[in-house]
Amino acid sequence: MSDYLVIVESPAKAKTIERYLGKKYKVKASMGHVIDLPKSKMGVDVENDYDPKYITIRGKGPVLDDLKKSAKKAKKVYLAADPDREGEAIAWHLAHSLGIEEGAKCRVVFNEITKEAIKESFKEPREVDMDLVNAQQARRVLDRLVGYNISPLLWKKIKKGLSAGRVQSVAVKLIIDRENEINNFVPEEYWSITSEFTHKKKKFEAKFHGIDGEKTDLKNEEDVQKILNRLDGETFDVQSVNKRERKRNPSSPFTTSSLQQEAFRKLNFRAKKTMMIAQQLYEGINLGGKDGTTGLITYMRTDSTRISNTAKNEAAELIEAKFGQSHLGKQKQAKNDERSQDAHEAIRPTAIHKEPTTIKPKLSNDQYKLYKLIWERFVASQMAPAVLDTVTAHLMNNGVEFRATGSQVKFKGFMEVYVEGQDDKKKDEQKMLPPLEEGDQVTAQDITPNQHFTQPPPRYTEARLVRTLEEKGIGRPSTYAPTLDTIQRRGYVALDNRRFVPTELGTIVIDLLEQYFPEIINVQFTVDMENNLDSVEDGEKEWRKIIDDFYQDFEKRLEKAEEEIEKIEVRDEPAGENCEKCGHEMVYKMGRYGKFMACSNFPDCRNTKPILKEIGVDCPRCEKGSIVERKSKKNRTFYGCDQYPECEFISWDKPIQRPCPKCASLMVEKKQKKSTQVKCTECDYSETEQS
């Protein structure tokens, strides 16, 4: 019989932790929450100080019974749920269910699943932190009051299956507002002038900057012509050359949101996938040998960029050994955002010496990619800044100034390991100017005016939306992935080329909420509520008072909405064809991955069809069909004949109408990073077009 019982959330952790603690400890898993509010009803007594009515979660009875039996046999029970609000609430519920005395020092927390961290955490167990528990309770009760009151209203007035919530509704509102900005955007014309210059047979590019010492905007072709008319020949004088050294600092180690953003940019991982894989890396991977199952990263739900001194020292040793002392960064404490809870460290490898390549055979492909990203980001964060030499040359001709800029990495520093991705910007390109001195003369060749138009703001990608939610203080690290998943499952938004677009349903729901429950989609209200929850966690505010302040006004709005809102009929858009199975009209529906066609006779007929996008190319095989764009089960684009299954022509590359000039066979288009290759499917003919 074991002397001590340790309860964790996940069975994946249990085996690892039991091995670290030894024979006197038995480690079991609660499989997450064992107690929660009921699904079938509100579960909050608004008449009795918002008292939550918890019940044992369906299916968790046997788990709880087993834990109770084990607890009775043990000398002491330790509760080792995750180190966050949810984990604290799980520990509190377990303590009550197992009859652990209030105030008992039974709670252990650890930021990483390593032998040292686990053993250290058991040296100083603490009481269950009721401030953390109450912050979780407040969020749970608040979300239940909003969701279980507004959702039935939406079902009654619009359609079943809808939901509303503080964070998800604000996220949808942001997407709708961005779409309105795009639709209402009026492009403005502007021009630029570029030219290629030569100096001692060396070529470089410069752009028009201004006239008579002042920066000048070119709004139309007339402005451009004035500049061109003012130029006196093709010779420019080098008025001055400014050289300076610029430092570029590394990014901080990952927080939850920055990990989700970077995994989206660099790995094309959705937020939900990123968190799932990060959970696996945190709970432990079987590395075999002496290591066995080991947690590879620290806890992945954090908004802190703090790093322990031990981790800093280990990183410094590795950097010095690999790159030399010159690449070591200065030891400094990262500044956290004022909203950061700083409960634990940033996301980092638990053991820096476990380099990605050395453990790659033990990881799945996705696990390896994410671990490598985390490892490289952390190592780079502890390295010296990169040093760049930048040069700006001012070229003058009759008061007209062109400027040429160049830069070169003088010292790579952290860039030896890692460079942060960008949402929109192109990759940094080194561009050096020829040696230029004040008083030199250069010759302009091919002065080219270019017309441009201002562009609307871009639609939100997952990365951009997560960043915006974080910047505005909406939600917390653990809420981003489930929020993005929910708004897609509800059909409020869809993805178009990896960017969010609002659906008609989403717009209708948000319009209704804006009219009757403006606080639910108000950014500042949501931010203030998050700050209030943080104050509960800090022991500064009483959670029931926060709920009451919200609910008194909310209840009045709810009564008004019930009376005034009329039934809204969401009509499906006709697809212009009939169902081949039952003859009823086909309509357009919006699913998680965008629009599709479905029979209007649902649920009696469940026929669905993808929307086929024609690309204007005749089928080369059957000669009577047309080539259409389709999606594979993994959402990858391919091209096939619209006469399928009669004609089974498919191609991963996009066919084009123009036949091969060499053999008259089908030509396809293949997109590359900086060019488009057009090639024949039968012979070796190909063309390359620069993007």
Other Cβ atoms within 10 Å of 485 Cβ, number: 15
Q: Which helix (H) or strand (E) holds 265?
A: helix 256-267
Other Cβ atoms within 10 Å of 179 Cβ, number: 20
What residues have CB less than 8 Å from 317, skipping those under 6 apart? none
- The question of whether 299 is a catalytic residue gets the answer yes
Q: Which helix (H) or strand (E) holds 194?
A: strand 189-199
What residues have CB less than 8 Å from 635, skipping those under 6 apart? 593
DSSP structure class, residue 416: G
Q: What are phi and psi of 585, to 5 degrees?
A: -70, 140
Nearest 5°: the CA angle 161, 301, 335 is 130
Please state, in angstroms and rounded to a whole number, the distance separating the CA atoms of residues 80 and 27. 10
Q: Are 27 and 8 in contact (CB under 8 A)?
A: yes
Residue corresponding to tokens 């009451």: 548
Other Cβ atoms within 10 Å of 244 Cβ, number: 9
Q: What is the DSSP string of 653-678?
A: SEEESSPPTTT---EEEEE-SSEEEE
Other Cβ atoms within 10 Å of 464 Cβ, number: 20
DSSP structure class, residue 664: -
Q: Which two tokens stand for residue 613?
A: 């996008």
Please state, in angstroms and rounded to a whole number, the distance separating the CA atoms of residues 594 and 640. 19
Please state, in angstroms and rounded to a whole number, the distance separating the CA atoms of residues 212 and 239. 12
Strand pairing of 626-631 and 675-680? unpaired
Q: In terms of Cα–Cα distance, which of 541, 459, 480, 492 is closest to 131?
A: 541
Q: From residue 136, how far is each of 320, 485, 519 by CA, in Å?
A: 44, 21, 21
Please state, in angstroms and rounded to a whole number, the distance separating the CA atoms of residues 382 and 315. 7
What residues have CB less than 8 Å from 63, skipping those under 6 apart? 30, 31, 34
Please return the burial class of 567, using the count of CB atoms within 10 Å of its CB with bins 0-12, 13-18 and 19+. exposed
Please state, in angstroms and rounded to a whole number, the distance separating the CA atoms of residues 388 and 193. 27
Per-residue H/E/C for 371-439: HHHHHHHHHHHCECCEEEEEEEEEEEECCEEEEEEEEEEEECHHHHCCCCCCCCCCCCCCECCCCCCCC
Of 50, 299, 418, 460, which residue is the catalytic one? Answer: 299
Please state, in angstroms and rounded to a whole number, the distance separating the CA atoms of residues 255 and 109. 19
Q: Which two tokens stand for residue 237?
A: 């004088």
How many CA atoms lie less than 13 Å away from 492 in the CB half-sphere? 28
Q: Give the catalytic positions in this structure.
A: 299
